[in-house]
Structure 1
Amino acid sequence: MNQQEFWNTKFSKADYFYGINPNEFLASNMKILENHKKLLCLGEGEGRNALFFAKNGFDVSAIDASNLGLEKLKNRAIEEKLDIQTICMDLNDWTVLEKYDVIVASYLHMYKNEREELFKKIENSLNTNGYFIGEFFSTKQLTYNSGGPKDLDLLYTVEDFMGYFNLCEKNITEEIVILDEGIGHQGEACVIRVKIKKV
C-alpha cells in the first residue's frame, strides 16, 4: 500500500480523523510568527493547521499524499472563503521551488532513511529568519495508546533533528502531552517538539 492509499483509507473513515482544530503546539507559536507571511504545511492531511493559519492571515500552501484529505481541506476553505493552495504529492517527490517564511508539520510519518533529504529540503526552503515548527511522535510513543504508528522506523528522537539544520537555531524537546485531536489522537502521548529558526 502506498502513501496515498494508506492515508485515503484513514481519511475516508471519519468526518475529520484528527479533528478540525489545529495542533496545539503549532498554534501556540503564533506570537513568534508575527511579520511572517508565506507558510507551507507538510503532510497536512485534512487541513486543520492550514485552515487555522489561513484564518490568521498567512499565505498558505499545503502538501499531502492524500487526495481525499486535500479535498476536505479545499471544501472547508471554500466554505470559509479562504485561499489555500493544495499540492497532492508524496513528500519524497517534493522539489524545492519556492522559499517560505514558515514551514509547519504535525505528526509527519517519514521513514528514518527518508528524513535526511526532507530535512535538507526544509532548510533550503526557509527564508532567513524563517521557522520550521513541528510536533512528532517520539520513539517512546510505542508504550502509549493515544495514536501514531507502531513502527519504530516512523518515530523520532531529539537526536534525529539535532544532526541536521546546521544553519539554524534549534529548540528541540521531548515532552509528555495530552492529545485531543479527533478520533486519531486521544490521551497521553510522548512527542518531540521542534522549533528551528534559520539565521
Structure 2
Amino acid sequence: MNQQEFWNKKFSRDGYLYGTKPNQFIKNSYDNFKKNEKVLCLGEGEGRNAIFLAKEGFDVEAIDASDVGLNKLFEQSILENVKVKTNCIDINNWQADKKYGAILFTFMHLQIEELKSLLEKIETALKDKGFLIVEVFAKSQIEKNSGGPKDLELLYSMNDFRDNIKSLKIHKLEEVTVELDEGKGHQGEASVIRLIAQKV
C-alpha cells in the first residue's frame, strides 16, 4: 500500500480524523512568521493547520499524498472563506520550486533516511530568516495509545533532528509530554518532539 492509498483510507471516514482545530504547538508558535511571506504546510492531510494560518492572513500552500484529505481541506476552506493552494504529491517526491518564509509539519511518519532528505529540501526551500516548526511523535510514544504508528522506525529522537539540520539555527528542540485533543486520531497523553529552527 503506497502513501496515497494508506492516507486515503484513513481520511475516507466521516468527519475529520484529527479535527479542525490547529495543532496547539503551531498555534503557539506561528507569531514567528511574517505575514508577507509564503507558508508551506507539509503532510497537511485534512488541512487544520493550513486553514488556521490562512484565516490569520497568511499565503498558505499545503502538500499531502492524499487527495481525499486535500478535498476535505478544500471543503473546509470554503466554509471558512479562505484560500489555500494545494498540491497532491508524496512528500518524498516533493521538490521546492519557490522559497518560503515558513515551513511546518506535524505528526508525519517518515523513515529516517526520508526525514534526512526532507530536512535537506526544507533548508533549501526556506528564505533567509525563515522558520521551520515541527511537532512529531517521540520514540517513547510507542508505549502510549494516544496516536501514531506502532513502529519505532517511524518515531523520532531529538538527535534525528539535531544531527540532520545543517544550516538552521535551532531555537527550541525538546521532548515533552503533552495532552492531545485532536479529533478521534490523537487523544490523550503523548510523547512528542518539538522543534523551532530558523535559517541564518
Q: Does 1:187 align with 2:191?
A: no
CA distance in 1, matches of 2:165, 2:58: 24
Q: What is the rounded CA distance, in whole Å, between the counterparts of 1:66 and 1:18 in structure 2?
A: 14
- 1:132-165 CA distances to partner (integer Å, 9 max, x unpaired)? 0010000000011100000111101000000122
Asked whether 1:89 is paired with 2:85, we answer: no
CA distance in 1, matches of 2:89, 2:16: 20
- Length-normalised TM-score, structure 1: 0.97
- Partner of 1:71 in structure 2? 71
Read off the aligned partner of 1:123 and give its amino acid letter.
E
- 1:71 partner amino acid: N
Q: How far is the alpha carbon of 1:35 from its aligned partner? A: 4.6
Match of 2:20 in 1: 20
C-alpha separation between the residues in 2 aligned to 1:2 and 1:14? 22
Gaps of 5+ in 2: none
Aligned length: 199
Give the letter for the 1:28 counterpart: N
User: In structure 2, what is the Cα distance between the partners aligned to 1:127 and 1:34?
Assistant: 11
SS of 2:29's equivalent in the other structure is: coil
Could you tell me how far apart the structure 2 residues matched to 1:182 and 1:81 are? 22
The 2-side partners of 1:83 and 1:40 are apart by: 13
Residue 126 of structure 2 corresponds to 126
Whole-Å Cα distance in 2 between the matches of residues 36 and 190 of structure 1?
34
Q: Which runs of 4+ in 1 moved over 3 A?
A: none
Spell out the pairing of 1:43-54 with structure 2 (5 A cutoff).
Answer: 43-54=43-54
> In the alignment, what sits opposite 1:11?
11
Shift of 1:33: 2.0
Amino acid at match of 1:186: Q
- What residue identity is the alignment partner of 2:13? K
**Deviation per residue, 1:59-95 (Å, 9 max, x gap):** 0000000000000001111222211100000011001
Seq. identity, %: 49
